[in-house]
Amino acid sequence: MIDVDKIRLDFPILNREVNGKPLVYFDNAATSQTPQQVIDVIVDYYSNYNANIHRGVHTLSQEATDAYEAARKKIQEHFNAAKPYEIIFTSGTTHGINLIATGFTSFLKKGDEVIVSALEHHSNIVPWQMLCERTGAVLKVIPMNEDGELVMSVYDELLSDKTKLVFTNHISNALGTINPIETIIEKAHAVGAAVLIDGAQACPHVKPDVQALDVDFYVASAHKMCGPTGMGVLYGKEEWLEKLPPYQGGGEMIDEVTFEKTTYAGLPHKFEAGTPNICGGIAFGAAIDYMNNIGFDAIAAYENELLSYATEKLLEIDGLKIYGTSTEKTSVISFNIEGIHPYDIGTIVDKLGIAVRTGHHCAQPIMDYFKIPGTVRASFSFYNTKAEIDALVDAVKKAKMMLG
């Protein structure tokens, strides 16, 4: 059971006002807020042991290196990766996806096929389009239905011995749909294809076990999990990471360099060229600790409660339609009011101190499917309350009255 009043004390930003009203933050699917416990870790790093890592023999460098690698170990344990070096630090989910898409250039040939889903964020569409342009491979799409669910019977038809890669998100950022990734992975492996799962939207709500999933690659971002921006993680099975070429050249990712030939460092350093976001990695570890101390089962249960409450209250508003009505769904509600542009609703709601997201949410194909310009998206976290949902409902009613 979550003590939300106690948890809210950990988030200093929740004390501020916006436009003279108490802040209600419902843009958690874009980025989560950061607790004081993580802020303190960031301040401590820059105040007491800021130094470059892996290279220095001096005390500060050794302290920073130890803290950074301890964070890698925490993240390994959180995702249940088999080895610490299967965890590659990145600048975020997009970086991890591009690393894999670029690496697979040498593995694909003309006529090979890669599969994505219709529910993807642009960052899990564009890199694969670029990969297909480079290699001559063909991009196939698993379609969606009116509930915002993938049509799995078509996925079965798309799979063949030509399929080399399958990519899908774990949870849709635009609709909140939880995809059946266990089935997707199992069926892809049956035809010899590798699978990458975009976990950016899932990791704030669930605790993925990459070994149980038997997934080849899994990517996530710290800033969706109470951590800092500019920091993410790529999990990859050791055998795949060994086969893939480095994504970038530079310091840290080398073994020996001469002007005639360079040999590369082992995992994970092979994919971590240059000075990393050291503080970001350490803070990501602290954010993982913070969320695990609350407990992901408790987080999921409470957020589902918020989702049910908000769905019921919003649907009482005449003319309001929710997009994404899958039975397997996380705490995201995308909606429109008939005859009113979502941007206009978002603007008025902001004047009342409530932060929601409007637009296509970097998922334009979903909006095209529904033949709409975008939606208003309210996304809830474990530090939100039912009273805040009531404030949102009142704000949407006011917006409707003013704009209708």
Q: How far apart are CA 167 and CA 185, in angstroms?
A: 9
Q: How far apart are CA 18 and CA 353, in angstroms?
A: 5
The domains found in the chain, sorted by start residue, are 4-30+295-398 (3.90.1150.10), 39-293 (3.40.640.10)
Residues in the chain: 404
Q: Give yes or no for residue 255 having a pLDDT over 80.
A: no
Q: Are 85 and 238 contacting, i.e. CB atoms less than 8 angstroms apart?
A: yes
Q: What is the mean pLDDT of residues 368-381?
A: 94
| Structure-block tokens of residue 152 | 């799995």
pLDDT at residue 121 in the model: 80
Q: How far apart are CA 114 and CA 124, in angstroms?
A: 12
pLDDT at residue 246 in the model: 83
| Amino acid identity, position 257 | V
H/E segment holding residue 39: helix 36-48
Distances (CA, A) of 397 to 320, 343, 363, 380, 392: 10, 15, 27, 19, 9
* Helix/strand/coil for 63: helix
* Helix/strand/coil for 254: strand
Q: How far apart are CA 87 and CA 119, in angstroms?
A: 26
Q: Which of 132, 203, 226, 362 is the catalytic position? A: 362
Helix axes 296-314, 278-294, angle to 10 degrees: 80
Q: What is the mean pLDDT of residues 217-235?
A: 98
Q: What is the mean pLDDT of residues 85-113?
A: 95
Give tens-digit pLDDT for 330-364. Answer: 999 999 999 999 999 999 999 999 999 998 787 78
pLDDT at residue 269 in the model: 86
Give tens-digit pLDDT for 173-186. Answer: 989 999 999 999 99
Give tens-digit pLDDT for 154-167. Answer: 999 999 999 999 99
Q: Are 382 and 299 contacting, i.e. CB atoms less than 8 angstroms apart?
A: yes
pLDDT at residue 250 in the model: 66
Other beta carbons within 10 Å of 293: 8
Q: What is the mean pLDDT of residues 111-122?
A: 93
Q: Which among 165, 144, 161, 166 has a CA at the least distance from the CA of 153?
A: 144
pLDDT at residue 186 in the model: 98
In the annotation, is 279 catalytic?
no
Q: How far apart are CA 269 and CA 266, in angstroms?
A: 6
Other beta carbons within 10 Å of 50: 13
